[in-house]
């Protein structure tokens, strides 16, 4: 019996090491090196700045992990003021959204239709497949956490909605 436990424990330990090595190798091939140590961030350590030019003015963003501009996984938080709207758009990669605070509304389709939106309060979660047309808005100041793969790209269904196309 003891030999069985020793053999089982050894096989289990080696399997865990092999899986960890495969995950690190896959992560490095994807362009995001696996962290060598744990990383912790407290709310007072967040350095909010303006959201990227591809989003409507007024929101703020902070990068928690990775780099949205490079290949690989990343995690950001987006702080939206009350009434903030993001017109219908798509992303080339899957988008995972968690509501941290406030109320986020998400709708699917090529037209901004608040009646068709889903309400997500703090703790709510959504997975938006790559290429899915969707839109969003906030009720009250709202913070969402977004986990995806870079490089981050946003393509508006209607090019006139793209803030990067606004006349200067």
Each residue of 118-139: pLDDT tens digit?
999 999 999 999 999 999 999 9
Q: Is 56 part of a structural domain of the chain? A: yes
In this prediction, residue 34 carries a pLDDT of 61
Q: How many beta carbons lie within 10 A of that of residue 46, not counting itself?
A: 14
Our count of domains for the chain comes to 2
- 3-state secondary structure at position 19: helix
In this prediction, residue 13 carries a pLDDT of 39
Cα(25)–Cα(164) distance, rounded to whole angstroms?
37
Residue 98 sits in which domain range?
A: 43-165
Q: How many beta carbons lie within 10 A of that of residue 134, not counting itself?
A: 22
Band of the pLDDT at 4, cuts 50, 70, 90?
Answer: very low
Residues 50 and 127 in one domain: yes
In this prediction, residue 12 carries a pLDDT of 36
Cα(2)–Cα(6) distance, rounded to whole angstroms?
6
- 3-state secondary structure at position 29: helix
Q: Is 38 part of a structural domain of the chain? A: no
Q: Average the pLDDT over 97-124 and give the result.
A: 96
Tell me which of 96 and 10 has the higher pLDDT.
96
Instruction: State yes or no: pLDDT of 2 exceeds 70.
Output: no
Whole-structure pTM value? 0.77
The tokens for 156 are 């508006």
Under 8 Å between Cβ of 161 and 88: yes
Under 8 Å between Cβ of 62 and 47: yes
Residues 75 and 127 in one domain: yes
CATH classification of the domain holding 107: 2.60.120.10
Beta bridge partners of 121: 103
Instruction: State yes or no: pLDDT of 168 exceeds 80.
Output: no
Band of the pLDDT at 166, cuts 50, 70, 90?
Answer: confident
Nearest Cα neighbor of 104 from 130, 72, 77 is 77
- 3-state secondary structure at position 28: helix
Residues 60 and 126 in one domain: yes
Q: Is 81 part of a structural domain of the chain? A: yes
Instruction: State yes or no: pLDDT of 95 exceeds 90.
Output: yes
Instruction: State yes or no: pLDDT of 27 exceeds 80.
Output: no
Q: Average the pLDDT over 36-57 and give the result.
A: 88
Residues 14 and 92 in one domain: no
* Distance, CA of 83 to chain centre: 21
Band of the pLDDT at 32, cuts 50, 70, 90?
Answer: low
Residues 109 and 74 in one domain: yes
């Amino acid at each position: 019996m003891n030999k069985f436990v020793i053999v089982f424990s050894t096989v289990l330990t080696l399997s865990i090491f092999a899986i960890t090595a495969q995950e690190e190798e896959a992560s490095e091939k994807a362009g995001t090196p696996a962290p060598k140590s744990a990383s912790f961030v407290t709310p007072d350590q967040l350095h909010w700045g303006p959201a990227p030019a591809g989003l409507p003015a007024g929101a703020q963003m902070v990068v928690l992990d990775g780099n949205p501009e490079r290949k690989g996984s990343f995690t950001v938080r987006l702080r939206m003021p009350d009434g903030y709207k993001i017109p219908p758009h798509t992303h080339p990669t899957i988008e995972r959204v968690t509501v941290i605070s406030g109320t986020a509304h998400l709708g699917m389709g090529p037209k901004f239709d608040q009646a068709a939106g889903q309400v997500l309060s703090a703790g709510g979660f959504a997975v938006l497949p790559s290429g899915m047309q969707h839109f969003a808005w906030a009720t009250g100041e709202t913070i969402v956490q977004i986990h995806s793969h870079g490089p981050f790209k946003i393509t508006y269904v209607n090019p006139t909605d793209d803030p990067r196309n606004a006349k200067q």
